[in-house]
Structure 1
Amino acid sequence: MDRMTQRQKAAIKTGALALILAFGTALAGCGSNADTPNAAAGEDSSAATAVGESGTSATSADSANETSAETRVVKGEFGDVTIPAHPKRPAGIYLEDYMVALGVTPVVQWYHPSWGIQDYLKLDVPQFDISGSPEALLAQQPDLIMVDGGVDQAGYETYSKIAPTYRLPESVLQDSKQILLAVADALGIPEKGQEVLDKYEQIVADDKAKLEETVGGETVAVLRLNGGDKTLALFGIKNRYTGSLYSELGLTPHPLVGEMEDYQQIISEEGLADLDADHIFIFPASGDWDSEENKEAEQIMDRAVWKSLKAVQNDHVYVVERSYWQSGGIQANMLKFEDVMKHLAP
């Protein structure tokens, strides 16, 4: 038995190395959640193979039956996939926010060199560069990988070689509350998902009532400073990051925001002159405000057109933290709501 175990370990090590070499560059093609850091492979047989290569498959008929009893099938965007009923080492690429809200620590946290990391989650786990090799993810031996719309089918196929991969259905991705419940269900803790959602909805209801008293129908807009091309992007009501300010908190979007079909649009100088919102929230796309790139882009705010805006003249422009304002997760939403309350309902 000891000799067989050594052979198995050697086979596992060899298989893992082969996987890294074969898919070392594949993840660079995965989506980066464009409006999102701003989405039919993976069948049961390949998922089972991936588990076997990671060394976690059953080695006897009895163990196989036990493992089968502790798995279930979920329907993802790219088909059904067999996942652990109660995963012990889950990864949630772009979904760590929801996992943290549910009290679950992921085995890695996604990272992108040009964007950074979601610092607000304060996770102390290895980082996984989604633009490079899957080695960092493979090394953590996840037993479940969950991904959202930032991962296309090619990326999904790559992840599925590492562990059973659940790509959330497209139908839930525009609603953070549905995403929360889907993630909780995949983790085998649906009751915890409902508990977190109930608390979230109570916070939303309380905040909305206060905002009706303090700002009423005063208009709101959200801008992002794009340091690289020195532009401003106006976020629309359908934006996955900030749409909740209007749909949940009940804030009144400026007409330019409310009429926008796109998630976001670069706003011209002429368009900026028409942005007579009562309140403007603004943050940089990446880096800190004092970075060289952002300092140059910030010169937009020295122009006469910017200084003529109603919100600027009334000192109603609020600089906020970029990482959670560029996330649509439950934790991020609650932090955005705290910012809104601090500035609009102190």
Structure 2
Amino acid sequence: MYKKIVLGTATLLALFTLAACGQSSESKDTNNDVRTLTDAQDHQVKIPNKPKRIIASYLEDYLVALDEKPVAQWTVGEGKIQDYLQDKLNDIPTINYDMPYEDVLKFEPDLLLIGSNGSLEGGKYKEYSKIAPTYVVKNGDSVTWRDQLEDIGNVLNKEDKAKQVEKDYDQLVNQTKKDMKEQIDGKSAVVLWVTNNSAFMVAENRSSGQLLYKELGFEVPQLTKDISKKATADFSQVSLENLSQLDADYIFLVNSDSNAAMFKDPLWSNIPAVKNNHLYEFDGESSWLYNGPIAYTKMVESIRDDLK
């Protein structure tokens, strides 16, 4: 899938890196030019104290929250970007999600932040680390956006800013629970994503499920409990037949297929939340499919607007 950097380029990069370092790691550490941090894969990474050219593919939410801008932003193919961040990133060029070496090299980064262990399979870490210091951020099923925010905040010397972002978010959640007590207490909700005429439901302890059930306090529908037992990703596919038994008071629908045949099926129109006009719809450009402090903040704001 990926093209390899030719040996000559790698050699020149190595020489350039040595020249840029100029002095020993001990000396640089003493002068506070770099810090050595241990990442999620136990690499000892020399992090520049004030990185200027960061690539953090699919972690842009965290950078923006910490008042940083990457030199390139995540995309899948042509035009699939995180639209909800474009008020801050509209002038930032894209780099494909698989981060081809030549493209990374072209942007001349001074720091690479990697958001998942899986994206480094096949010896990619070694190749990336030839280009720039490469730090693997905390990741995995049990890692929350808060964990990642704090880790990135530490890398960027912005621990206090990360704590403030969390504090602001918690205040929003607490105020929402207080303001919307009547709409939330004893009411159940679910997040669905429809794409390619197929429906997917968010798991109880993942992504926006964590927000709905743990933070805001909505009840968990039985169908959500059932799919969560076997969930291996944020969203799990669910049949229309099973959806017809959904007993949720509210449905938050991320609709990436507005012409899906399933919306014309009586099984869909007879779902109680649909019949009762408690279906709240968002397009595929919303933040509901993503993770991070800005994504979650926008979700809470959407819930406030829809249920008020």
Q: Residue deviations 1:31-79, cap 9 Å, x none?
A: xxxxxxxxxxxxxxx9xx96754586234x4898347632112221222
Which shifted more, 208-217 or 315-324? 208-217
For 1:19 and 1:238, the matched residues in 2 are separated by 39
Q: Is the 8 A contact 1:148 1:173 kept in 2?
A: no
Choose between structure 1 and 2 for higher RCO, CA contacts under 8 A separated by at least 6 residues: 1
Q: 2:251 aligns with which of 280, 289, 294?
A: 280
Matches within 5 A, 1:228-239: 230-239=197-206
- How far does the alpha carbon of each residue in 1:108-167 deviate from its partner, in whole angstroms, 9 at most, with x for none? 101112781001111021110124633332222111111112523434334223211111
* Distance (Å, rounded) in 2 between the aligned partners of 1:126 and 1:317: 36
Alpha-carbon contact 1:81-1:164 (below 8 Å) kept: yes
The amino acid that maps onto 1:107 is V
Tell me the equivalent position of 1:58: 21
Matching residue's letter, 1:160? S
Query: Secondary structure of the residue that 1:205 maps to in structure 2?
Result: helix
Cα contact 2:248–2:273 (8 A) shared by 1: yes
Counterpart CA distance in 1 for 2:150 and 2:19 is 27
* Amino acid paired to 2:203: G
Q: CA deviation at 1:238?
A: 2.2
Task: Note if 1:330 corresponds to 2:300.
Answer: no
Q: Which runs of 5+ in 1 are unaligned?
A: 1-17, 23-45
Q: Distance in 2 between matches of 1:170 and 1:68?
A: 31
- The residue number in structure 2 matching 1:254 is 221
- Tell me if the contact between 2:188 and 2:219 (Cα under 8 Å) persists in the aligned partners: yes
Is 1:96 aligned with 2:60?
yes
1:307 to partner: Cα distance:
0.8
2:114 to 140, 147, 161: 147
Which range moved further: 162-171 or 334-343? 162-171
Structure 1 residues 132 and 91: alpha-carbon distance in aligned structure 2, compared to 1, 3 A threshold = closer
**How do residues 66-215 of structure 1 correspond to structure 2 at under 5 angstroms?**
66=28, 69=31, 70-79=33-42, 80-113=44-77, 116-122=80-86, 123=89, 124-131=91-98, 133-149=100-116, 151-154=119-122, 155-170=124-139, 174-215=143-184
Aligned length: 292
CA offset digits 1:1-40 (Å, max 9, x no partner): xxxxxxxxxxxxxxxxx96457xxxxxxxxxxxxxxxxxx
Aligned CA-pair RMSD = 2.8
**How many angstroms does 1:247 deviate by?**
1.7
Please, what TM-score do these two structures have when normalized by structure 2? 0.85
* Matched position secondary structure for 1:151: helix
Could you say if the C-alpha distance between residues 300 and 171 of structure 1 is closer, same or farther in structure 2, counting changes exceeding 3 Å? closer
Instruction: Give, in whole Å, the separation in 2 of the partners of 1:256 and 1:56.
Output: 59
AA of the residue aligned to 1:130? Y
The answer (yes or no) to whether the contact 2:115–2:137 under 8 Å persists in 1 is yes
Residue 342 in structure 1 maps to residue 305 in structure 2:
yes
8 Å CA contact 1:181, 1:194 repeated in 2: yes
Mapped to 2, the partners of 1:317 and 1:257 lie a distance apart of 16
Mapped to 2, the partners of 1:266 and 1:171 lie a distance apart of: 21
Q: State the Cα deviation string for residues 309-328 of structure 1 (Å, max 9, x = none).
A: 10111111111133411111
Give the structure-1-normalised TM-score. 0.76
Give me the whole-angstrom Cα distance separating, in 2, the residues matched to 1:176 and 1:191.
Answer: 16
